[in-house]
Each structure stands twice: as C-alpha cells, then as structure tokens.
Structure 1
Amino acid sequence: MTNRLLTARVHRSGMVFAAAVTLLAAAVWAAHHGVQAAHYGDQAVSRLAAVWAITFLLLLSQTIMYHCERTRRPSPRAHRQLDGLHVAVLLPVYNEDEGYLRLSLESMLAQTRRPDSVHVVDDGSTSGDYAAVRTWWLHAARTAGMATTWQRTPNGGKRHAQAAGVRVSPGADVYVTVDSDSCLAPNAIEEILLPFARPKVQSVAGIVLATNSRRNLLTRVTDLWFVTGQLTDRSALSAMGAVLVNSGPLAAYRAPVVRDNLDSYLGETFMGRPVMFSDDSLLTLYALLRGRAVQQPSAIVFTALPEKASHFARMYMRWMRGSTIRSLWRMRYLPVTGWAYWAQLIRWFQVALSTTVLAWLLIVEPVRYGTTPPASFLIVPFLIGWAQALRYLGVIRSDECIRQRAITWLLMPAAVLGSWTVLRAMRWYGMATCARTGWGTRQNGAEVTLNAKTSASETAERTALPDDDTMRIPVVKLLNPDTETTLQLTLPAR
C-alpha cells in the first residue's frame, strides 16, 4: 500500500504536437486513398476531396490552437492581489455517496491556498442527512480556521442550492463551484485563481480527471473521451478566451458574474418550462458576455464517472438537451464580433458536415450509385481520434503509470465507434427532446460509491500523529483493479 496525495499535471511536449500532425496527415492520406479506390465519379471525387480538405484544415487549426494554450503565471505583485481575494466555494449536495462527499471536503482542507469559506448546501437529499459527515466537517473546518456553513434546504435543484451558498457569502470576490464528488488536487484552488490576474478574465475552467477511471471499460473509455475533449476542443477555445462550457467539478467565476445574474440563473425557462440542467454552461455564458472565459490546465480535480451504461445514458442525454438550449442562447446573445459566437457556429457546421458525409457514404452512394466506401475509410476516424488523444497521454497522474495510460489510449477506437453510432443518435434525440428539462440522475440515491465493496465508514479511518505538529485527516482507499492507492491528506495544526 502506498500513502500519497492524488495529484496530476498536464505535460506539454513538442513531440506530442508533431505526432498529432503526423497522424492527422495520415488520416487525410487514407481518406484520399479511399476516394480514389472507390471508383466514384469525377464529381463525387471532387466533392469528397473538398470535404477532406475542409476537415483537415479545421483539425489542423484546432491542433495549433490547443497547443497555444498556456498555463497562466502572474507576476509577484499580481500574486499578492490574488491572495487578498475572498474565495468562496459553493458545494451543493443531493443524494451523494458519503465517502465521495467526505473526500471532497477533505481535499478543501489540503489546499495550498485554502478557500476563505466553504458553503455546503444539502438540497433536500432523500437518501440520508449526512449527520456524521456534517459533524466531522464543521469541527475540522473550525480547527483549520476556515469559515463554513452547512444548510439543508427543500429540494429545488442545483442552481437553487448554489444560490443559497451565494446568499450567505455576499463578500466573496470569487466563487469556486464544485460538485459533491469533486476531489481537488492539493494546488487546485491556487492554480485556478491565477488567470484572474488579468482583469478581462471572468471565469476559469479546471481540468477534470476520473477518480474511478479504471473501475471498468466504460469508465476508462469515458475518461479518455472526456479528458481528450478538454485538452483539445476546450484548450483551443481557451487560447482565444472563448471557452463555451466550464465543468461542474471545478470552475471559478468573478463574484459579480454570479451575483448580478442570480435572478435569471434561477428563473431560466425554455418553451415555458424551468431549465434544471446545463448550469455550468449558463454561468460560462454570463462570463463570456462580460469578458474572457479560459481554462487553467494546472488546476486539476478528480471526479466520479458513471460506472453503468444506464447512468451514463441519462447523464449524456441531459448534456445534449442542455447543449441544444445553450447553443441557441449563444447565437442569440453573444456578440457576433467575439470568438465564442463563431466557435459555436463552426461547431454546428462540423456536426452537420460529419453527419451529412456519413449518410452520403453509407446510404446515398450504395443505394443511388452502387458504390461502397473501401475498408481504408475505417481507419480515418481512428487516426484522428488517436491524434487528438495524444494529449491524454500527456496527463501525468500520481496513481497511474504511463503503461496504464497507454492501454487506455489504445481504446480510442471504442470511443470513436461509440461517438459515431450510439452517441450520435443520442445527440439528435437529445436535440429533438430538449424541452424535457428535468435532471434525471440520483433520484433514488447515489449511483456511484467510493468503494463498492465496503461501507464509507470502512473506507475512511481517522488517525492522529501523537508526536508531530500536524493533524492527519482521513485516509481514503481508492478502489483500483491494478493497484491499491490511498489519498493521504495532511494539514498544519492551528
């Protein structure tokens, strides 16, 4: 058993960039070879050649942009100004596993730059009252000298729980939003504040990794897909100050972005129905209307991913419905002169283009012209996926060796196949049913637990150091199939 903090960092390398460009070029060559081998007519060849050229230019532009993203490092003077900010953490809780909730709170105490206040709001959970965790946390926060509140409110949804935290912290300069299963890396809050040294920055997104990434095949592939998206698509947008969606497990906002828009945040409706999801993307939209929204690659958080297909399907459907609503709001409210507006427009174009090309190759060409795509076409999306997922290999985690990361990277074909088939169908279904604005998960209690084999009390044990000037707070075992890793969080005694 190894006792250590769970940490991670994103490694930047010119070799990764060169390898990505090489794989993208190979994908274009494979597509060109496929077009030539299929004996399409001259007009079809010309049309498809134009499609591949546009696709390659978009991918190459994105690759260059996400390698232009930089970790913000302010001056010593700006550091002092950031240290003077009041940072309030908003932590809504609804039917969360006690083990994950306690792990989240422990990570607050282990921060190199602790928040000034933490506001926990139990949004009317039906699976328990968290009495033991609440008692422990109030004592631990008081011992650490950290202001905190713990409220229990009638169930009103995540937004109303966050609003309850905002109302009891009117003096905050920055709000950090986290989920109840978020385990922050020790320097997460310190790092996520750094971009605020630039006055135009209104919100900052952290990088989300999976706590349970190796629990099963679904969590491996989901982690690969999710992390790759953050380090390619969102990193490219961050380079332009135009991040469209911050992630719920870790994001930070200048306080006026939240406070000034609280009424509209709580009262959003779509087709006459209150919107209960897509909270983070709406806060990001508010930030974009005031300035820049960026990502900080060095601000890392670990969160629990769905471990069952049914749970993942409900989560993804909620994302797609929320994405549909939010994209309409962006086109309506974002200024046409901003990068974010055009990023949304290009995203629509890419979805339409990829869907049209897929339908043409698999339906129109065989039925109308009697030609089928050659087998060489199958390798094109895999090469593109592996090229983008090279960024996944650049994430160095304290609980995983590069061999394990490489094994997951090799699973990219599974992510590509799922994205082009099941997820594509779910995307269109989500768009068609976006008026269904309910949350859809955790209605019957926690769907992911910290340790499926033992209870929370058995996975977290408190120990004390009798002859030291530090206090050691709970040691929590993470269940990994290959290694047994523990998180050991320590903080100075006060």
Structure 2
Amino acid sequence: MRRPRALLLAGGAAAGVIAVVLSAYGLRTWLTARGASEGLALWAWTPLAAVLVLQTALYLCERPVRAGAEGRERLDRLHVAVLMPVFNEDNGYLRAALASLLAQTRPPDSVHIVDDGSELSHRAVRRWWMSAARDRGIRTSWHRTPNRGKRHAQVHAARHCPQAEVFVTIDSDAQLAPDALEEVLQPLADPRVQAVAGLVLARNNRAGLLSRVTDLWFVTSQMVERASLSPLGGVMVASGSLAAYRAELLTDHQDGYLSETFMGRPVTFSDDSMLTLYALMRGRVVQQPSAVVFTAMPETVGHHVRQYLRWMRGSSLRSLWRVRYLPARHPALFAQLLRWFQQLASTAALLWLLALHLQPGPLPSPLLLAVPLLLASGQTLRYLVLRRSDQSLRSQVGTWALTPVAMFWSWAVLRPLRWYGALTCWKTGWGTRQAGAEVQLGTAATA
C-alpha cells in the first residue's frame, strides 16, 4: 500500500509549528497566572523553538541521492570491501546477515570477516559462507583472532584487502535490503562525500513493547535529527549496521583509531562515531535514506539500558573530540554546539517547570501539557513515511500510536541515562554481549 508521503510530511511540519505556538501561549498564560517571571523561560524557549523550526526545514529537504550516468560508471569500477567483525553473535542472525550480502543488486567485491575471539562457535556458518561466497565469485576471508575489540577486528579485516577503495562496515546481525549496497554507494559519486550512513530499522520490532518503542524512537531520530544534518553534510554518526567510507579514512588513521585513550584508559566503544569524525575532518558525511538495513534491537530492559548507556558515554566523549578537531566553519561543529544547548536548556526548563509546579498556585494549562505530546507525535509521523517490507501499514500505525509511551520512556529513563553516561564517560568498557548472544533469531519476530 502506498504511504501518503506528502500528507505525512506536511502533517509533521504543521504539528511542529502548532506546538511552538501553543507552547508560547500556554507558557506565557500559566506564568502570568502564577505571577512568575517570564524572562528566563522565554529566553530558553525562543532559541529552542528556532532550532526546532530550522531542523524541520532541513529534514524536509532530505532526498535519496542519485548519481548520474558518469557517477554510476565510476562507482561500478570501485573495489568495495565489506568488513564484518563477529563477537558472540547468534548464528541465525549471522547467517542471515551473510546471506543478505549474496542477494545484493550490486554485490561486494570482497567480504572480510573477523571472529574476535568469540566464546560461541561459528564453525558451521563459516563452512557454509566460504562455499557460498566462492560459488558467487565473491572473494572472501574469515579469520579468528584473540579478543581485542571491534576496532582491531576491523583493521585486521582491512589489511586483507589493500586494494579496496571503499570500506562498507556492517554488524554481524545486520540484514541488508537487496539494494542496500547499491544505494549506500550513490552519494560517493560526489568526491566531497567521505562517508555515507544507511537507514537502520529494527528487524525484531514485533518481539514486544520495548522493541516496538525502541524502533519508533530510533527510526525517528534518524529521520529527524540525522536527516536534518544530511543536507549540510554534517551527519555526526554513521551507524555500524551499515556505513560506507572512503578506504583511506581507515588506513590513514588506523594507528590513532586503535590507540585512542580518554583519561588514560583505552577507548573500546564509539568506533562508528570515531570513523565518522575522521570523515568529517576531510569533508562531508551524509545519510542515504534508501539504503536500508535491518538489525536486532534489545528485547530486554537490561540489554537496552546497557546499550544506551554505552552509546551515551561514547556520544559524550566524541562530542569533546568534535569541538576540538573539527574546522570552525564545519556544520557538524555548529550542530554539536546546538545539541549541547538543546540538552542543557530543555533539561533546565523541565526541572524549573517541575519546581514551579510544586509550589502553590494554579495548575498548568492543558494546552501547555499537550505541547510535548503534539510535538513528539508530529516528529514520529516520519516513521510512517517509510515503505517497510517487514511491516504492514496497520502494524506501523500501531507502533506510531505508542508515541506517548516512547515520549515518557525518553524523558523518564533515557534522559537521566544520557546525563549519567556523560558523567561516567571515563568508563570505556563495551558492556554488552560479554557472555553470549543477547538477542537470538529463534526468539525474535522475523521479517
């Protein structure tokens, strides 16, 4: 069924504008009734509203990149090597990920897999893959190394394909759409583009309430925040589930990539954002929304919390590096400073409003209380713009209807975790999948 894209895009933009107007009116009315000063609240609200309007205008500009005839010819000649680190991956997900590489409309020229000292055995999958890749004429290698982390596994894999011109990194649980490789390469026809991020969807989105809410939140963040940075060439993180990089980014920076430290401790996470930072230092990083990959999201609260905490620690650390190393005029640097302001201002405004609410006086206007939900619902409409092969429109609408739950989870759980991660970013351990696969294909809903 065809999604009403134009209507949904217009609806999301309209909801954002209405939320801005209602928030201004409701906030001013309530503060006046309580005899409170409007200055501080409006000082924070005005730039936040301006950022929201700018972000909306930018993400509405994002379109899939299409290389011209000459560009496609250049892309066809590139040696594209896929790098896949494996560590304690469920064999069902691993085999599905590898099978998706065999079904690509633009097959990879080579695939290099490194088992980073897994405790789980992947021997059966390895035997199947080596035979299947040989039959398809895809050069491949599979190595097992002592456990030293994802970065070492990627560099080890890259050393086995020195002729590569593009490295495509994918996770061992990532199932590519049939045209994902062809699509993720399209923006690289522009020599200014150094890296391309794919669009990551949860493969197990129907496994439970948590996976649905996570899918809604994660897809919306890509379709809103990342999509608003893509027209500027300032995407700050290309997810490891599917990303394409100019090969020299890894080869030229491999020593620094492997030896990164923070407060005297080796950094073993945030590898995707580090590679993206190298790309930003050289040029543009964009998102290709037509390059789709399905990956496994956490199905338990414990796994979800540990993963998000690791992401936030890595995000906090990487934000410091962006401010330190990016050129002064780079859009990503400006976006990072805006992100800091948004986080500080929105959190401070929320705490101030809660403190004011606890004091005697009239309750907040229903209009003011409706603003966050209206704004969130407008942004999550982007979830329905996608034409998904793994869900019916009815299922997508059902997930979108969980917006109030996702909003509550974001504010009550994820926001405190974000601040806790920032305050403990010196803890640089990986934190998940240390004792085996945490999500298994046998227990997840399949696409």
| TM-score normalised to structure 2 length | 0.96
- The 1-side partners of 2:4 and 2:236 are apart by 23
- Is the 1:35–1:45 Cα contact (8 Å) retained in structure 2? yes
Deviation at 1:41, TM superposition (A): 5.6
Within 5 Å, give how 1:163-312 maps onto structure 2.
163-312=155-304
Deviation at 1:315, TM superposition (A): 0.2
- Is the 2:34–2:361 Cα contact (8 Å) retained in structure 1? no
- CA distance 1:12–1:375, shift in 2 (3 Å): closer
Q: 2:409 aligns with which of 413, 418, 432?
A: 418
Q: Which has the higher strand share?
A: 1
**In angstroms, what is the RMSD of aligned CA positions?**
1.8
Deviation at 1:46, TM superposition (A): 4.2
Deviation at 1:57, TM superposition (A): 1.8
Q: Which has the higher helix share?
A: 2
- Is the 2:203–2:445 Cα contact (8 Å) retained in structure 1? no
- The 2-side partners of 1:479 and 1:412 are apart by 21
Q: 2:422 aligns with which of 416, 425, 431?
A: 431
Overall identity of the aligned pairs, in %: 53
Please say which of residues 71-80 and 293-302 is displaced more in the overlay: 71-80
The one-character-per-residue Cα deviations of 1:61-102 (angstroms, maximum 9, x if unpaired) are 101101111211111111111000000000000000000000
Q: 2:108 aligns with which of 111, 115, 119?
A: 115
- The 1-side partners of 2:426 and 2:177 are apart by 37
Equivalent residue number for residue 443 of structure 1:
434
- The 1-side partners of 2:338 and 2:175 are apart by 34
- Is the 1:322–1:434 Cα contact (8 Å) retained in structure 2? yes
Equivalent residue number for residue 336 of structure 2:
344
- The 2-side partners of 1:405 and 1:60 are apart by 26
Deviation at 1:12, TM superposition (A): 8.4
- Is the 1:362–1:372 Cα contact (8 Å) retained in structure 2? no
* Aligned AA (2:164): A
- The 1-side partners of 2:47 and 2:207 are apart by 39
- The 1-side partners of 2:349 and 2:364 are apart by 11
Deviation at 1:399, TM superposition (A): 2.4
Q: 1:101 aligns with which of 94, 102, 118?
A: 94
SS of alignment partner, residue 149 of structure 1: strand
Stretches of structure 2 that go unaligned for 5 or more consecutive residues are none
- The 2-side partners of 1:403 and 1:12 are apart by 14
Deviation at 1:21, TM superposition (A): 2.3
Deviation at 1:372, TM superposition (A): 4.8
* Aligned AA (1:77): E
- The 1-side partners of 2:32 and 2:265 are apart by 52
* Aligned AA (1:448): V
Q: 1:331 aligns with which of 314, 323, 330?
A: 323
Deviation at 1:321, TM superposition (A): 0.5
Deviation at 1:261, TM superposition (A): 0.4
- Is the 2:170–2:243 Cα contact (8 Å) retained in structure 1? yes
SS of alignment partner, residue 214 of structure 2: helix
- Is the 2:34–2:362 Cα contact (8 Å) retained in structure 1? no
* Aligned AA (1:396): R
- The 2-side partners of 1:43 and 1:58 are apart by 25
* Aligned AA (2:145): T
> How many residues in Structure 1 have an aligned counterpart in Structure 2?
446
The one-character-per-residue Cα deviations of 1:391-441 (angstroms, maximum 9, x if unpaired) are 100111122111111111111111111111111111111111111100010
Stretches of structure 1 that go unaligned for 5 or more consecutive residues are 1-7, 453-477, 486-494
Equivalent residue number for residue 87 of structure 1:
80
SS of alignment partner, residue 336 of structure 1: coil
Equivalent residue number for residue 374 of structure 2:
383
- Is the 1:334–1:341 Cα contact (8 Å) retained in structure 2? yes
Q: 2:445 aligns with which of 452, 459, 479?
A: 479
- The 2-side partners of 1:25 and 1:237 are apart by 20
SS of alignment partner, residue 124 of structure 1: coil
Deviation at 1:363, TM superposition (A): 1.3
Equivalent residue number for residue 17 of structure 1:
9
- CA distance 1:12–1:352, shift in 2 (3 Å): farther
- The 1-side partners of 2:389 and 2:351 are apart by 43
- The 1-side partners of 2:118 and 2:4 are apart by 42
Equivalent residue number for residue 458 of structure 1:
none
- The 2-side partners of 1:62 and 1:154 are apart by 44
